[in-house]
A and B are shown apart, each in its own frame.
Chain A
Amino acid sequence: MDMTQPSNNRETTAAESPAMIPAVDVLENENGITVRADLPGVSRESLHIRVDGETLTVEGQVNLGEVKDLEPVYAEIRTAQYKRSFVLSRDLDTSKIDAKMKNGVLTLTVPKLEQARPRRIPVRAE
């Protein structure tokens, strides 16, 4: 049975229960934006990242491994699903998003469009 479901509510499917919002760090440098998200229990295979217009959505399914006859006695994590969305801006290149997953931490990098990178504007003397 699923350890992340409260024992008094076993009929609720993962699709019905609200997803957890993963903790993230978001930072920006001159090359683009980096998002780091804590997704413990989510493997590379059960992670889904999609871009719809300017919305970036990260979704993942927690997998605790199959254990026979497991009865939960104490649970702080009660949902097996993570989901979080971000609205990107037009200066970002959504076709070049890079995603890495290591030890349950997702690192997403969204580069800036070439023409959006900072550059010096030369000032000509008249």
Chain B
Amino acid sequence: MYASLTRIPGDMFADFEALQRQVEQLLGTRGWPSSIRAASRGAFPAINMGVTPETVEIYAFAPGIDAAKLEVSVDRGVLTISGERANDLPRDSEKVSVYADERFGGSFRRAIGLPEDADASRIDAKYRDGILRITVPKRENAKPRRIEVKD
């Protein structure tokens, strides 16, 4: 009822927020049912997940990391990806001017719930071109199969 009191006309940030909401509405990305572990935009690393009849495929967009420093673990059906990315911007240097510092630096941790039919005991993880690809096979009895009809 009193929301208008907090909306000072000409408040630039409120305008941006409204614009962002409109854009999301237009793109249709707002209001979709989302995972409880979904992070807001800009979280590092971004994650995509897909399923095939045989496997669950997870892609973590984590560029610029030493593969040995990536940690993948799974506990009770929740897959966790963690690690650290060095912020390689030179600091405290008089002769360097930094104009943009958008890239993520520091430690990160993200979790994603695996589908119920995923077999967490056999996980394969590969790192290539800055993408960590995790393949989790589905349980044997969850794979689609043809049932023969006898006469």
A interface residues (Cβ-Cβ under 8 A, vs B): 3-4, 23-30, 36, 38-43, 63-65, 67-77, 102-105
Contact = CB atoms under 8 A, between A and B. Distances in A.
14 contacts: A24-B102, A25-B101, A26-B99, A27-B89, A29-B97, A40-B62, A41-B61, A42-B129, A64-B59, A67-B57, A73-B51, A75-B48, A76-B43, A103-B64
Given A103-B65, A104-B63, A71 B50 contact: yes
B95 A30 contact: yes
With most chain B CB atoms within 10 A of its CB, the pick from A29, A38, A68 is A38
Given A42-B130, A72-B48, 19 more contacts: A25-B98, A25-B102, A27-B99, A28-B96, A28-B99, A29-B97, A36-B103, A40-B63, A40-B130, A41-B129, A67-B52, A70-B51, A74-B35, A74-B47, A74-B112, A103-B64, A103-B66, A104-B63, A104-B64
A39 B130 contact: yes
B90 interface: yes
B9 interface: no
A69 B48 contact: no
A22 to B, nearest CB: 9
Contacts of B115: 73
B74 interface: no
A39 B52 contact: no
Question: Chain B interface residue count: which class?
Answer: 35 or more
Interface in B21-65: 35, 38-39, 41, 43, 45-53, 57, 59, 61-65
B133 interface: yes
Interface of B: 35, 38-39, 41, 43, 45-53, 57, 59, 61-66, 88-90, 93, 95-104, 112, 115, 127, 129-131, 133
B103 A23 contact: yes
Contacts of B43: 76
Contact of B57 (A28, A40, A70, A76): A70
A36 B99 CA distance: 12
A54 to B, nearest CB: 16
A43 B50 contact: no
Nearest to B45: A40
A104 B97 contact: no
